[in-house]
Structure 1
């Protein structure tokens, strides 16, 4: 069964609500311009109270140095770094390939060969937007995601909601789905009813 990641967690109540519908991954956004930003020290307060089997993911966008990413992971307790900006191979290696999810913001064209040997444990396929890094509400390119998923572990993101998630899983067959804006009341605040609807859709 496809795994579930709920991103944009800003409070303990939403973290528990996500876990109750089957989330195995929780995303904490450490990118200050994001409306879903949470300080690493605040994320630590939440993470410290969560079940040990939950994989907590820190979301980063173009931090100046990979050392900064590693430091924030240590402060927050996040086990995995989702690099959602323009980080290159060397940057990912420095953070540690085995704990990197590299986000790919894919438009109409994408060179699949560019992923060969890329130092990441998995890739996250998101919709392309000139100004925004994630949380756009736009649907990603499922055709490209399907091709990537044939060879590597893929987290499918981009405008996923209870209404389209079962079709997305059928088409792409990803390792995991990543939901954010599609299960919110407002940025950074999850909607429990939408989370429950998502669980039903994933089990359909």
Structure 2
């Protein structure tokens, strides 16, 4: 059984669930609280979730004295992984609709992932790369997505034609030295909802230089997600250095095949984020 500690004064906004699979949460200055799935079973049960008030519509709510970054777990390929991600605290659960990715899912699979994420309080996000506006809108309507992550040039260019009811996460890419290589037009700045900063190749597991990286003004204004090479081992450092509104992980929580998620790593990632955020609050 794993364990971690959080301050009793720590504000957990930004989490939909404080459920920890097979772990113990120790409240500093308070009592221990255990959450288990009955009799050691691996089944995911909704009643084991402890809800914490949160808003998936306001990514920027977690920055300030009560800072706690939101977690997005991406690259889901099964409803089971999506449900577990939501149960351990991911507020957003991403799936890749773009067919050329090794982690891409069909529309029917995406529907199952959406349902599983929402059952446990998370919001599903569809990832697009070279699709046009018509293709993105059709996919979102068919799957039931309210959030679209625009990862490539073609997908970003479609933002102006997408309905305003569809929330958009615009991806900007940084090179290994931490220099931004993506520009956003003034017209697009007005209509996108959030910014995600990733390495040059999304889903590669490669990080950029956080020390040299300067958070763009647009990201600070809109609210932003940090992606690119995040793992349970380094996410605490990233949170401390850059204080993003959210952290986005995919490769860092996969198993040996690089596709299916590793539940121990998913839990370890959440523990690292929770611990680092509470330290940031106390500082």
With normalisation by structure 2, the TM-score equals: 0.65
Given the alignment of the two structures, is residue 24 of structure 1 paired with residue 91 of structure 2, yes or no? yes
RMSD (CA atoms): 2.2
Residue in 1 that maps onto 2:208: 140
Given the alignment of the two structures, is residue 73 of structure 1 paired with residue 140 of structure 2, yes or no? yes
Residue in 2 that maps onto 1:200: 271
For 1:52 and 1:19, locate their aligned partners in 2 and report how far apart those are by CA, in whole Å.
6
Q: Which runs of 5+ in 2 are unaligned?
A: 1-67, 276-283
Residue in 1 that maps onto 2:15: none
With normalisation by structure 1, the TM-score equals: 0.88
SS in 2 for 1:15: helix
Larger Rg: 2
Task: Decide whether aligned partners of structure 1 residues 103 and 141 sit closer, same or farther in structure 2, where only a CA change above 3 A counts.
Answer: farther
For 1:20 and 1:191, locate their aligned partners in 2 and report how far apart those are by CA, in whole Å.
14
Task: Decide whether aligned partners of structure 1 residues 52 and 92 sit closer, same or farther in structure 2, where only a CA change above 3 A counts.
Answer: farther
Task: Decide whether aligned partners of structure 1 residues 89 and 11 sit closer, same or farther in structure 2, where only a CA change above 3 A counts.
Answer: closer
For 2:121 and 2:70, locate their aligned partners in 1 and report how far apart those are by CA, in whole Å.
13
- Which one scores higher on RCO, CA 8 angstroms, separation ≥ 6? 1
Of residues 62, 85, 96, the one that matches 2:152 is 85
Q: Which runs of 5+ in 1 are unaligned?
A: none
Residue in 2 that maps onto 1:168: 238
Post-superposition shift, 1:172?
1.2
For 2:156 and 2:96, locate their aligned partners in 1 and report how far apart those are by CA, in whole Å.
21
Residue in 2 that maps onto 1:181: 251
Of residues 221, 225, 250, the one that matches 1:155 is 225
Count of residues in Structure 1 that have an aligned counterpart in Structure 2: 199
Post-superposition shift, 1:113?
7.3
